[in-house]
Chains A and B, each alone.
Chain A
Amino acid sequence: MEHDRALLMTDVGGLTICPECDLLVQEPASAEASSFTLLCPRCSALLRRRNRNSLENSLALVFAALVLLLAGNAFPIVGLDIQGQRIETTVVGAAASLWQEGLRPVAVLVLLTTTFLPLLELGTLLWMVLPLRLGRRPPGFVRLFCVLRLAHPWAMVEVFILGVLVALVKLAHLADVLPGAAAWCFGGLMLLLATLSIVVEPRDLWQRWEEARP
């Protein structure tokens, strides 16, 4: 509680420290407008951005992304048609075949970056945003914020999609390739995650957290 008050006082001063170059920035008076973007004048880092309805938008995006992620793991991502014989693989199946070939660290890395970490990121966001929308403080909010920050750079759905495309092109000379349902799911997931990273604004979440019931 002590720290909370201290931080509120720095907020009253309207000063922000740039997280990338440590410059002290005076927040403009128009900062209470409903939608704005504030950049650091020295290194042009994003200091603060506020959108209208950011909680509602992020909730909708998180739900949609979760559906796509689950479907993307349930269906085969690519298939091959070799002389009538059909071979398909899912993401987990592809990682499993790497595991069997003895490249266990790489298998774990692939599974982490394409499935587990996006799932963790989406689950964490849901856990944080849903109670805040209802005006309550989600338990473990502080730790989850760190989880979110650590997981974010390692979720690489968009790179995976490009990898699938390249693999399809490589195999096109060998056999008929059929992009599976999961490929479309991951494509959509990529777009949703990109939008989500714009909509979710950490400082807004903290502000809602302070206003919410403990």
Chain B
Amino acid sequence: MRCGTRLCFRKPNSIQRTLAFLIAAYALYLPANLLPITVTRSIFGTQEDTILSGVAYLWNSGSWAIALVVFVASVVVPLFKLFSLTLLVISVQRRWHWEPLRRMKLYRFIETIGRWSMLDVYVVTILVALVQVQSLAAISPGSGVLAFAAVVVLSMLATMAFEPRLIWDSLDNPLPKEFAP
């Protein structure tokens, strides 16, 4: 009304758009984890690192706290987000009555944690910018970064496209008669 955004009270085509972004994110998830995110060229040879091998490297070198942070941010959070959003979309489409408050909290939770997956993208950015000593070692980004950044952005878009009010709809308007048991 006043702020010009209320003309459409709800996000239009929420379920379709959420699903579209979700499917795109799922499709890119495998390449994001299988393709190397950094390629290190040094006098000892060339080494390609994926997200998981980067975590393993941190773990083995003793910084297990940092390894845990990176693992949570770039493996647990994206997966958790994709699965919970899928669950939410299904629950809304099937008009479940189950625990609306808990589903609402789940939605808010994935909205807050989603941004932390960008962590690895920033790490790679800084590694690439700093380690350019030609004689010793040079790190260049792998194509995995592109896929991973795309997964993060797409899953954030999917979360934004989802309309949490749909969770409450099945409570306000019970099923139409022909579908009632």
User: Which residues from chain A sit less than 8 Å from chain B, CB to CB?
Assistant: 3-4, 6-7, 20-23, 42-44, 77-80, 82, 85, 87, 89, 93-98, 101, 103, 105-107, 109-110, 113-114, 142-143, 145-146, 149, 153-154, 156, 159-160, 162-167, 169-171, 173-174, 206
A113 to B168, CA, bound (A): 33
User: In the complex, which residues of chain A have a beta carbon less than 8 angstroms from the beta carbon of B78?
Assistant: none
User: In the complex, which residues of chain A have a beta carbon less than 8 angstroms from the beta carbon of B129?
Assistant: 89, 93-94, 96-98
Nearest CB of chain A from residue B16's CB, rounded to whole Å: 20
Contact in complex: A109, B121 (CB < 8 Å) = yes
Contact in complex: B2, A164 (CB < 8 Å) = no
**Given A43-B168, A170-B127, A173-B61 in contact, is the A153-B3 Cβ separation under 8 Å?**
no
User: In the complex, which residues of chain A have a beta carbon less than 8 angstroms from the beta carbon of B4?
Assistant: 142-143, 146
Across chains A and B, which 6 residue pairs bring their CB atoms closest together, nearest first? A163-B122, A94-B129, A167-B126, A89-B129, A21-B168, A97-B129
Contact in complex: B118, A97 (CB < 8 Å) = no
Contact in complex: A106, B149 (CB < 8 Å) = yes
User: In the complex, which residues of chain A have a beta carbon less than 8 angstroms from the beta carbon of B145?
Assistant: 103, 106
Residue in B2, B69, B168 whose CB lies within 8 Å of A3: B2
Can you list 11 A-B pairs with a CB-CB distance of less than 8 A?
Answer: A21-B168, A89-B129, A98-B129, A101-B141, A106-B149, A154-B156, A159-B116, A160-B122, A162-B122, A163-B121, A167-B123
A43 to B136, CA, bound (A): 57
Most buried by A among B4, B121, B140: B121
Nearest CB of chain A from residue B148's CB, rounded to whole Å: 9
Whether a CB of chain A sits under 8 angstroms from the CB of B90 is: no
Grouping DSSP codes into helix (H, G, I), strand (E, B) and loop, the B interface class, with mixed when no group exceeds half, is helix
Nearest CB of chain A from residue B136's CB, rounded to whole Å: 6
Question: In this complex, what residue of B is CB-closest to A23?
Answer: B168
Contact in complex: B70, A166 (CB < 8 Å) = yes
A142 to B5, CA, bound (A): 9
Contact in complex: B131, A171 (CB < 8 Å) = yes
Kindly list 12 other residue pairs between chains A and B, CB separation below 8 angstroms, not including A7-B1, A22-B165.
A43-B101, A85-B133, A89-B129, A98-B125, A105-B146, A110-B125, A142-B3, A154-B156, A159-B119, A163-B125, A167-B130, A206-B2
Nearest CB of chain A from residue B119's CB, rounded to whole Å: 5
User: Which residues from chain B sit less than 8 Å from chain A, CB to CB?
Assistant: 1-5, 54, 57-58, 61, 63, 66, 69-70, 73, 100-101, 104, 111, 115-116, 118-123, 125-133, 136-137, 140-141, 145-146, 149-150, 153, 156, 160, 164-165, 167-168, 172
